[in-house]
Amino acid sequence: MFALLQSMDWAEIGLAGWDTLLMLGGALLFTLILGLPLGVLLFLFDRGQLLAAPRLYALLSLLVNVLRSLPFVILLIVLIPFTLLVAGTSLGVAGAIPPLVVGATPFFARLVEGALRGVDRGIVEAGLAMGASTRQIVWQALLPEARPAILSAATVTAITLVGYTAMSGVIGGGGLGDLAIRFGYQRFQTEVMVVTVALLLLLVQLLQMLGDWLVRRYTRR
Amino acid sequence: MRSRPTPVIELQDIHKSFPVGTQRVPALRGIDLRIEPGEVFGIIGASGAGKSTLLRVINLLERPDSGRVQVAGADLQGLDEAGLRQARQRIGMIFQHFNLLASKTVAENVAWPLKIAGRPEAEIAPRVAELLARVGLAEQAAKYPAQLSGGQKQRVGIARALATRPQVLLCDEATSALDPETTRGVLDLLAEINTELGLTIVLITHEMDVVRRVCDRVAVLEAGRIVEQGPVADVFLHPREAVTRRFVLEAEHVDEGDQLADYAHVPGRLLRLTFRGERSYEPLLGEVARRTGLDFGILAGRIDRIKREPYGQLTISVSGGDLPAATELLVERGVHVEVLR
């Protein structure tokens, strides 16, 4: 066992681990930045909400559903021209981030929409009765009240992104998942498979623990 | 004759309906209401009578289909978005379920309307401290709502509603989620605020006891219409409408039908006497009995207060003696006499 671990190319694994972290970090950052406002708009445009606009809601909702229904592997390929445009390359870590963001943003936006729906309607009514504007109600009441649920949504999104990064090998994205497929599966190096999967598991565990800790920290019930 | 002051709230012929399926169901059907500065005005009604909608018409959280809404001299429907937001800052509101921000401390909750109004930070902190002291929660400033009791939460709600020094306070079933003792505390606080700040209070409730404790005038709402209104003592002691009688009897925990059936075997006539003010404490019945030779038995009675005014209401059986003379004497002394049988 010990000999087996020694015989492995740890430099390769380290590099793949680093690539995974880069893809995850970059994609998560942009997903949160784009998904949060999209989720807030979905919530606000819905029937009976502050900016109720049924047609706009239907349009946004359709866009989100289309992106969510495409398998990620297909998204990777379909988006190559777009990726070239925004990242300058469709390969490697930089080439993987745009499709990861496009794949995860609608997912996160839906979760944010749900988190905001979970806020007691009475809070919005109280804000309106005090003469608050929609912007004030969103920033000063809805987002703080939904913060634990949004953090929990961000955790789920981060973990989903870890899964997506494994497929980035299709476009030469690299990362642990790619390593597991190329060496562990295609070259029958079971020990590489075991180690990479163990590392991915560790990453998911750490993300979940961090997320749970953040949720607890901001829950006041 | 007292001159009528300008009302602080005036509603004229308010109609409001809600879509249900393909139809529109009326919630308010021609409401006229004048509420004068400094009074505590109660609106009582069963659930579904439209009282919650009516209260929300006053700050235009519900826009009426037709009719006029004037508050503190401003025609609310004529205002633009920004104007309406400013007008709402002068109308406080408290809620049955408090509607506090769970993620913010007590102090931050009370500061919220001041932040909305764009007051400077330096002004907010002392104002919040002053408000919390007024509602008796100075010690709880750093706590979160989840750490407070229901009564304390409503006190935070009241402090928050008073923050921008409104002229009007709207209370949406403010005590319905509280136990009787806590309810008393919150109602006492509302009465205190009304006297000390001269604030006009409009409260909706389904409990006559709440009305009896704090209101000056009351309107009874049934199926979107005001069926009876007037000073609380008049409405409470001499209800004209069946729905009003039900609310009064509910407050006294008696059933009128049962009561009359219970007295079926009692001989003689049955009278209900109503005393108001300090007269409630006078030894009037004994005197009447002596002077007219009337025999009486007390079947039921209650001596209590309506806001600050004491009142007594007795159901008595009478026999022998000179009944017309006795009635005349009682009426002369300001007692309201009602012949039940």
- Provide the pLDDT for residue B211: 94
Q: Searching chain B, which residue's CA lies closest to the CA of residue A132? A: B116
State how many domains chain B has. 2
pLDDT for the residue B35: 97
pLDDT band at B257; cut points 50, 70, 90: low
Spans of all domains in chain A: 2-217
Task: Round to the nearest angstrom and report the end-to-end CA distance of chain B.
Answer: 37
Are B287 and B213 members of one domain?
no
Q: Phi first, then psi: give them for residue B116, nearest 5 degrees.
A: -60, -40
Q: Are residues B211 and B304 in the same domain?
A: no
Average pLDDT score over chain A: 91
Domain identity same for B132 and B272: no
Which stretch, A163-177, A179-193, B117-131, has highest mean pLDDT?
A: B117-131
Q: For residue B218, give its domain range.
A: 9-251
Q: How confident is the model at residue A1 (pLDDT cuts 50, 70, 90)?
A: low
- Residue B320 CA, distance from chain mean position: 42
B261, part of any domain: no
- More confident position, B268 or A59: A59
pLDDT at B4: 64
Q: What is the number of other CB atoms lying within 10 angstroms of the CB of residue B25?
A: 10
**Is B4 contained in some domain?**
no
Return the residue of B nearest to A215 by Cα: B103
* Identity of the residue in B93, B113, B146 whose CB atom sits nearest the CB atom of A221: B146
CB A132 within 8 A of CB B116: yes
Residue of A nearest to B96 (CA): A122
Q: Computed from CA positions of residues B31, B165, B98, B131, in that sequence, does the dihedral angle turn out positive or negative?
A: negative
Give contacts of B57 with chain A, Cβ < 8 Å.
Answer: none
Average of per-residue pLDDT values in chain B: 91
A interface with B, Cβ–Cβ < 8 A, is 120, 122-123, 125-133, 136, 140-141, 144-145, 147, 218, 220-221
pLDDT confidence bin for B3, thresholds 50/70/90: low
From chain B residues 94-123, the ones with a CB under 8 A of any chain A CB are: 95, 97-104, 112-113, 115-117
Is residue A214 pLDDT above 70, yes or no?
A: yes
Nearest residue to B168 via CA among B11, B32, B35, B34 = B35
Query: What single-letter amino acid sits at B254?
Result: V
Q: What pTM was computed for the model?
A: 0.89
Minimal Cα–Cα distance from A216 to chain B, Å? 12
Q: How far apart are CA B64 and CA B66, in angstroms?
A: 5
- Model confidence pLDDT, tens digit, residues A114-129: 999 999 999 999 999 9
Of residues A189 and A160, more confidence is placed in A160
CA B306 to chain centre: 11
Whether residue B112 contacts residue B167, with contact meaning beta carbons closer than 8 Å, is answered with no
Residue B95: helix, strand or coil by DSSP? Answer: coil
| Facing B95 at nearest CB: one of A122, A131, A221 | A122
Question: How many Cβ atoms are within 10 Å of A50's Cβ, its own excluded?
Answer: 17
Q: For the CA atoms of chain A, what is the radius of gyration?
A: 20
In this structure, what CATH number is given to the domain that contains residue B217? Answer: 3.40.50.300
Report phi then psi at B173, rounded to 5. Answer: 50, 50
B258 pLDDT above the threshold of 80: no
C-alpha B236/C-alpha B248 separation (Å) is: 6
Instruction: Give mean pLDDT, residues A21-38.
Output: 96
Residue B1 lies in a domain: no
Strand partners for B222: B225
User: Please, are residues B13 and B32 in contact by the beta-carbon 8 Å criterion?
Assistant: yes
The third-level CATH classification (topology) of the domain covering A2-217 is: MetI-like fold (1.10.3720)
pLDDT category at B2 given cuts 50, 70, 90 is low
Contact by Cβ (8 Å): B215, B36? no
Decide if pLDDT at B164 tops 70.
yes
| Share above pLDDT 70 across residues of chain A, in percent, rounded to a whole number | 97
Element (H, E) at B51: helix B51-58
| Neighbour tally for A61: CB within 10 Å | 16
In this complex, the residue of B86, B99, B170 whose CB is nearest that of residue A131 is B86
CB contact under 8 A, A136 and B116: yes
Give per-residue pLDDT as tens, B196-244.
999 999 999 999 999 999 999 999 999 999 999 999 999 998 899 999 9
The three-state secondary structure class of B98 is: coil
Of A125, A132, A221, the CB nearest to B61: A125
Q: From CA B209, how far away is CA B236, in angstroms rounded?
A: 10
Identify the CA nearest to B222 among candidates B242, B202, B195, B238. Answer: B242
Residue of A nearest to B110 (CA): A130
Name the strand (E) or helix (H) holding A183: none
How close is the nearest chain B Cα to the Cα of A153, in Å? 18
Residue B315 has pLDDT above 70, yes or no: yes
B110-123 mean pLDDT = 97
- B256 is a domain residue: no
Whether residue B151 lies inside any domain: the answer is yes
Per the listing, tokens 């109004």 go with B117
Name the least confident of A119-128, B53-62, B119-128, B270-279. Answer: B270-279
CATH of the domain at B274: 3.30.70.260
Answer yes or no: are the C-beta atoms of B326 and B288 closer than 8 Å.
yes
Residue with tokens 């289309």: A66
The confidence band for B279, taking pLDDT boundaries of 50, 70 and 90, is: confident
Provide the β-strand partners of residue B45.
Answer: B221
Q: Where are the strands (E) in chain B, listed by range?
A: 9-20, 23-35, 40-45, 66-71, 74-75, 91-94, 168-172, 200-205, 217-222, 225-231, 269-276, 295-306, 309-319, 336-339
Q: Chain B residue with minimal CA distance to A124?
A: B99
Q: Which residues lie across from B204 on neighbouring strands? A: B43, B172
Instruction: Say yes or no: B199 and B155 in one domain.
Output: yes
Tokens 């007219």 belong to which residue? B292
Of B86, B88, B102, Cβ closest to residue A220: B102
B102 min Cα distance to partner chain A (Å): 6
Interstrand relation of B217-222 and B225-231 (parallel, antiparallel or unpaired): antiparallel
**Domain for residue B63, yes or no?**
yes
Question: Are residue B279 and residue B223 in the same domain, yes or no?
Answer: no
* Residue B166 contacts A, CB cutoff 8 Å: no
Q: Is residue B262 part of a domain?
A: no
pLDDT of residue B217: 96
Share above pLDDT 70 across residues of chain B, in percent, rounded to a whole number:
96
* Residue that is written with structure tokens 């180690």 in the block: A195
